[in-house]
Amino acid sequence: MNDVVACTRAEFARLRKWPAFWIVLGTWIALNLVFAYLFNYLAYTSGSSSRMSNGQPREVLLQLMLPAAVPEVFTQGMAMFGGALMLVLGALVVGSGYGWGSWKTVFTQGPSRRAVVGGTVVSLMSVVVGLVGAAFVVDTGVAAMIGAAEHRTPTLPTAAHTLLGLATGVVILGMWTLAGALIAAIARGPALAVGLGLVWVLVVENLLRGVASIFSPVRALTDHLPGTAAGSAAGAMRTVGGTATPGVLDILSRPASFVVLAVYIAVFACGTVALMVRRDMA
């Protein structure tokens, strides 16, 4: 166990100085702000109609930009660009070591491979927790500024709703991050992993769900795909009707989506560790 802690610290020590790491996380926060607040606020302040483009009344749109709605709003982007970006991060963290030869170096330092890769998995999940927390704080700050600008009484989300939102964020982004890590371990590099992963997240799952709508026997499968579970978990956070954010679904219930995501997290984490422990490091 001490070895895993030491390996996690070592992984953090190198991640925090990696520009690509901060670029991916920064992009995630920026896109989250752009799609959750910037465009909506611009539409709210410049729109003349009583209903906005998504069919919501202006007042509802404003409610979604206030602090009380942060747990709901900040999870909506996770099913689409958020998941894709975190998959890229996972693929880069695990895959780059093959190209640089750093896995080979680290695997001969002393701790077992299980501890080293376990440390990487733990550090990735810690990054996810940190990112979700940071996004929540940033979003709450921006929402508070919007509330102040619109002269609304600041109302924070309830603790239960906050925890639910944070947990939803962690399981969605954690699943995609570890999916990227596993694909990179399989591909032994970041490039193929990023390419295949993005094609899966952005294209293949949507196509499969399209197939399921005309060929019901595959529905049992498509209802439990990673993207379906992630979209459903995000969808379960919604409190208003109307057009959902792309990727946000209502196929699975919250408990069912959490169970499916937890299974994927366990499978991806164990798969990454098992693969890197057993396979030759050529």
Partner 1 sequence: MNRSNADPAGEFPGTVTQTRASATEVVVTESLTKKYGDHTAVDAVSMTVRRGEIYGFLGPNGAGKTTTLRMLVGLIAPTSGTATVLGLNPGERESLRRIGVLIEGPGFYPYLSGRDNLRVLARYHLTERTAGSRPRDRFAEVDEILARVGLADRAGDRFRTYSLGMKQRLGVGAALLGNPDLLILDEPTNGLDPAGMAEMRELVTGLAADGHTVVLSSHLLSEVQEICDRVGVISGGKLLTESTVSQLRGAATLLVRAEPMEKAYPAVRRVVGEHRALPTAAGIRVDAGRAMAPEVARAVIASGADLLELRTDEKSLEEVFFEMTKQEHR
Q: State the residues that interact with partner 1 by CB under 8 A.
A: 2-3, 6-7, 9-10, 13-14, 17-20, 100-113, 116, 280-282
Q: Minimum distance between the CB of residue 24 and partner 1, rounded to whole angstroms?
A: 14
Nearer Cβ to partner 1, position 114 or 161? 114
How many CB atoms within 10 Å of residue 213? Answer: 10
Q: How many CA atoms lie within 13 A of 163 on its CB side?
A: 3
Q: Minimum distance between the CB of residue 276 and partner 1, rounded to whole angstroms?
A: 12
Q: Minimum distance between the CB of residue 18 and partner 1, rounded to whole angstroms?
A: 6
Nearer Cβ to partner 1, position 8 or 40? 8
Nearer Cβ to partner 1, position 20 or 191? 20
Q: Minimum distance between the CB of residue 113 and partner 1, rounded to whole angstroms?
A: 8
Say how many residues make up the chain. Answer: 282
Q: Residues with Cβ < 8 Å from 84, sequence gap 6 or more?
A: 176, 197, 198, 201, 202
Nearer Cβ to partner 1, position 20 or 43? 20
Q: What is the 3-state secondary structure (H, E, C) of 150-206?
A: CCCCCCCCCHHHHHHHHHHHHHHHHHHHHHHHHHHHHHCCHHHHHHHHHHHHHHHHH
Nearer Cβ to partner 1, position 1 or 220? 1
Q: Minimum distance between the CB of residue 17 and partner 1, rounded to whole angstroms?
A: 6
Tokens of 13: 């020590």
The whole-angstrom separation of Cα 198 and Cα 132 is 21
Q: Minimum distance between the CB of residue 3 and partner 1, rounded to whole angstroms?
A: 6
Nearer Cβ to partner 1, position 8 or 257? 8
Tokens of 250: 């209502």
Nearer Cβ to partner 1, position 105 or 158? 105
Q: Minimum distance between the CB of residue 2 and partner 1, rounded to whole angstroms?
A: 6
Q: Which bin fits 240, alpha (ψ -120 to 50), beta or left (φ > 0)?
A: beta
Q: Minimum distance between the CB of residue 114 and partner 1, rounded to whole angstroms?
A: 10
SS3 68: helix
Nearer Cβ to partner 1, position 181 or 212? 181
The whole-angstrom separation of Cα 248 and Cα 81 is 11
Tokens of 105: 């170096």
The whole-angstrom separation of Cα 99 and Cα 256 is 38
SS3 10: helix
